[in-house]
A and B are shown apart, each in its own frame.
Chain A
Amino acid sequence: MPLAVPPELEKEIDDHITHYPVSKRSAVLPVLHHLQHHFGYLSEEAVEWTAAKLELEPIKVLEVVTFYPGFRQEAPGKYHIRVCRTLSCAMAGSYELMDSLCEKTGIDRSGVTHHHPIAVSGDGNFSIEFAECLASCGFGPVCMVNDDFHEAVTNIDGLLSQYSK
């Protein structure tokens, strides 16, 4: 089934493509960002839609999707949490933060692998993954929930209560 891209989103995408007057291929990342933001993840149909839009072979889009950790091919939870794993945050307790977040949201990370880094809670409300350095090393441990950024996370209940609906 072809991807159902709402007209207003397609207009936004078409506008964005004009930022690359030399080569439409340059718009692969921004188009994928728009689609992932709208659909939550990048399906096979999203890859094909992007390829058709930019007049590329689908493999040219798929190879981008599979390379970048910021693109995902599976649906995340309603609230997707990224916990910084890297040194300064780890020293500040990011592994403990990951464990507590999993416990409180009922997420089981035992099936996580390099190619499937995201684990989703049973109710689909939350998903979680480790991210590499989120660039706030002085104020760890840090995490992102969707597009929101949180520093020095100690009050986990307080954090999660913002995303309870």
Chain B
Amino acid sequence: MSGISYKSGRVPHAKEHRVVFRNIDRVGWDSSIATYLGEGGYEQLKKALALPKQEIIDEVKKAGLRGRGGAGFPCGVKWGFIPPTNTKPVYLICNADESEPGTFKDRYILHQDPHQLIEGMAIACFAVGANLSYIYIREEFPEAAKIVEKAIAEAHEKGFLGKNIQGSGFDLEIYVHRGAGAYICGEETGLIESLEGKRPYPRIKPPYFPAAMGLYLCPTIVNNVETLCHVKHILEIGADAWAKTGTPNNTGTRILCVSGDVQKPGYYEVEVGKVTMGEVINEMCGGLKPGRELKAVIPGGSSAKVLRADEVFTVGRGDDARQLTIWDIPMDFDTLAACGSMAGSGGVIVIDDSRSISWVLNNINNFYAHESCGQCTPCREGSLWMKKITDRVVAGKASPSDIDTLYGVAKNIDGRTICAFGEACSWPTESFVEKFRDELVSDTRPELEGAIVNAETLTAAAGL
């Protein structure tokens, strides 16, 4: 990118393709509207306001933009789910609850380029016919909430929000709504309940698909921060040009957040499917730490199934079938799904051979036990049981058959809950047990098999 320089130590890697993160860590860039307008800010909104709404929706559909929050659902298709006969108000909510462990991208957009998000939201609101919109920002981002509120006020002042925007007759108000530290608010129906001032218990689908019955039981579109930013860029260069980046059915760029045992953890915006796991770890992140070997990778946030370093994955069908090592996996939605995991939220957690698998799984299980909303019994009880069992494994107080029990508990949550948290909390345990059973069992004690141990002894042993 000519004419742009980045702060020392935060210069993008040569294999990056910066679109949404173009201005992150950029020298001379700030979050003010003057800076944003100086580089063509809000021109796409002006352009959008003169277009037929359906044309914008079709353009986003044609681009093949898939949701960057976790599920990878096509954004334009989601917008198209608003019933055509609808007469109720339509709402759009930006999901800035960023709380999937391993994910840290939206934070930087909110802090450093809030107008990019507001412009994307305003275009999306116009396209779906929303006049009232909320940005749901997690409570742990107090600074981000202030910055975004200031940006909203600036956009108001310049006539990009409010009544009759740029003389188009379109009205839009955007407000920041702050969460209060609950992971489940990232689930779109839980988020909606939270925005209605309630406990964020997810709603059952059907019938509560947000596009039909969302906020205040009106059609509601919930999109991730990064997804909404892309809307602006699709309009800027057109769906065809935008879809030339990335790979078929996995178009565009996305931000990978890499953490754990690499030399240079951080955020990297890449063309989807154009870089492999090996390139991400060995080139972009500077490789593993000296003398260490790769043990496992969690490729899409902590609820994504773990990949073992020595697995061989068969992807594609028939003549297209091919075998991949972990290093060869292109970082896209479809290949990671074919490898039995998911691209999820883009949070890549790298685990080397210095780590105990029991300890890693226990840390994850503690997270989900803490965050289960408690609405569905299999998840409320099961997530806690999984935590208790791995607490015992880590404390050296588990028997080998506890690993079978652990697996059985996970299998009895998956598919038996109102929302996808059931899968999110059981997939780590299922995949870790399937792929690292020997190591987990090696941390248990056969002499405890069948022993009658009372709950107090166990609790004390586990240090609870």
**In the complex, are the beta carbons of B178 and A26 less than 8 A apart?**
no
- Give a binary string over B168-206; 1 marks a CB under 8 Å from any A CB, 0 the rest: 000000010111111100000000001111111000000
Residues of B within 8 A of A135 (CB): 98-99, 103-104, 106-107, 138, 140-141
Report chain B residues within 8 Å CB of A25: 196-198
Q: Chain B's nearest CB lies how many Å from the CB of A105? A: 21
Decide: A132 and B257 in contact? CB cutoff 8 A.
no
Which of A6-14, A28-36, A120-128, A156-164 lies at the interface?
Answer: A28-36
Is A33 touching B367 in the complex (CB atoms < 8 A)?
A: no
A39 beta carbon closer than 8 Å to chain B: no
How far, in angstroms, from A69 to B140 measured CA to CA in the complex?
11
Question: Is the pair A137, B349 in contact by a Cβ cutoff of 8 Å?
Answer: yes
> Within 8 Å CB of A60, what residues of B?
197-198
Let me know if B107 and A23 touch, CB within 8 A. Answer: no
A70 x B99 contact (CB < 8 A): no
The listed residue with most A CB atoms (<10 A of its CB), out of B98, B139, B140, B367, is B140
Cβ B178 vs Cβ A33 within 8 A: yes
- Interface-lining segment among A73-81, A96-104, A138-146: A138-146
B260 within 8 A of A: yes
Known: A23-B216, A133-B99, A144-B140. A67 touches B199 (CB 8 A): yes
Total chain B interface residues with beta-carbon distance under 8 A:
54
Interface residues of B in 11-62 (CB under 8 A from A): none
Nearest-CB residue, chain B, relative to A136: B104
Answer yes or no: B166 CB below 8 A from chain A CBs: no
A28 to B, closest residue via Cβ: B197
**Closest-CB distance, B427 to chain A (whole angstroms):** 14
Q: Are B180 and A19 in contact (CB under 8 A)?
A: no
Verify B178–A30 contact, CB threshold 8 A: yes
Residue of B nearest to A134 (CB): B140
Interface contact tally, CB-CB below 8 A? 143
CA A60 to CA B138, docked complex, whole Å: 21
Determine the distance from Cα of A68 to Cα of B190 in the docked complex, in whole angstroms. 12
Chain B residues with CB under 8 Å of A86's CB are 101, 302, 363, 367
Say yes or no: A69 contacts B259, CB within 8 Å: no
**A-contacting residues, B307-363, CB 8 Å:** 347, 349, 351, 355, 360, 363
> Could you tell me if A68 and B367 are in contact, using CB atoms closer than 8 angstroms?
no
Tell me the minimal C-beta distance from A156 to chain B in angstroms: 21
| Complex contacts, A140 vs chain B, CB 8 Å | 259
* Interface segment out of the listed B226-234, B237-245, B261-269: B261-269
B102 at the interface (CB under 8 A from A): yes
A64 an interface residue at 8 Å Cβ cutoff? Answer: yes
Nearest-Cβ distance from residue A64 to partner chain B, whole angstroms: 6
Q: Is A41 an interface residue (CB 8 A)?
A: no
> Of all chain B residues, which has the CB nearest A24?
B197
Contact B182 A87 (CB under 8 A): no
A22 interface residue, CB < 8 Å from B?
A: yes
Give Cα A28 to B193, complex, Å: 12
- CB contacts (< 8 Å) of A131 on chain B: these are 140, 181
Q: Which residues of B contact A29 (CB under 8 A)?
A: 177-180, 194, 197
Asked whether, in the complex, the Cβ of A138 is within 8 Å of the Cβ of B265, the reply is yes
The reply to whether B180 and A26 form a contact with Cβ atoms under 8 Å apart is no
Shortest distance from the beta carbon of B69 to any chain A beta carbon, whole Å: 13
Q: Given known contacts A25-B196, A135-B107, is B140 in contact with A87 (CB within 8 Å)?
A: no
Identify the interface centre among A82, A90, A138: most chain B CB within 10 Å of its CB: A138
Closest residue of A by beta carbon distance from B185? A68
B417 within 8 A of A: no
Closest to A149 in B: B143
* With A19-B175, A149-B143 as contacts: A137 and B216 at CB distance below 8 Å: no
Asked if B258 is an interface residue, CB under 8 A from chain A, the answer is yes
| Interface status of B142 (Cβ within 8 A of chain A) | yes
Cβ of B104 and Cβ of A137 under 8 Å apart?
yes
Q: How far is the CB of B45 from chain A (nearest CB, A)?
A: 22
User: Does B5 interact with chain A (Cβ within 8 Å)?
Assistant: no
A89 CB to nearest chain B CB (Å): 9
Interface centre among A30, A64, A134 (most CB of B within 10 A): A134
Contact with B along A92-113 (1 / 0, CB 8 A): 0000000000000000000000
Is the Cβ of A22 less than 8 Å from the Cβ of B266? no
Residue A91 lies at the interface, judged by CB distance under 8 Å to chain B: yes
Decide yes or no: A26 and B347 within 8 Å by CB, A132-B367, A138-B259, A139-B265 being known contacts: no
User: B197 to nearest A CB, angstroms?
Assistant: 4
B101, B143, B302: the one contacting A147 at CB < 8 Å is B143
A153 to chain B, nearest CB (A): 15
A87 partner, pick from B101, B139, B141, B179, beta carbons under 8 A = B101
Extra 10 A-B pairs, beta carbons < 8 Å, given A91-B260, A137-B347? A68-B181, A68-B182, A82-B140, A87-B102, A133-B101, A133-B103, A135-B141, A137-B104, A139-B266, A149-B143
Q: Can you spell out 18 A-B residue pairs with CB atoms less than 8 angstroms apart? A: A26-B197, A64-B198, A64-B199, A68-B181, A68-B182, A87-B260, A87-B364, A88-B259, A131-B181, A132-B99, A132-B101, A132-B181, A133-B99, A133-B102, A135-B99, A135-B103, A137-B101, A140-B259
Chain A residues with a Cβ under 8 A of chain B: 19, 21-23, 25-30, 32-33, 54, 60, 63-64, 67-71, 82, 85-88, 90-91, 114, 131-140, 144, 147, 149
Which 4 A-B residue pairings sit nearest by Cβ, starting from the closest?
A70-B181, A68-B180, A70-B180, A28-B197
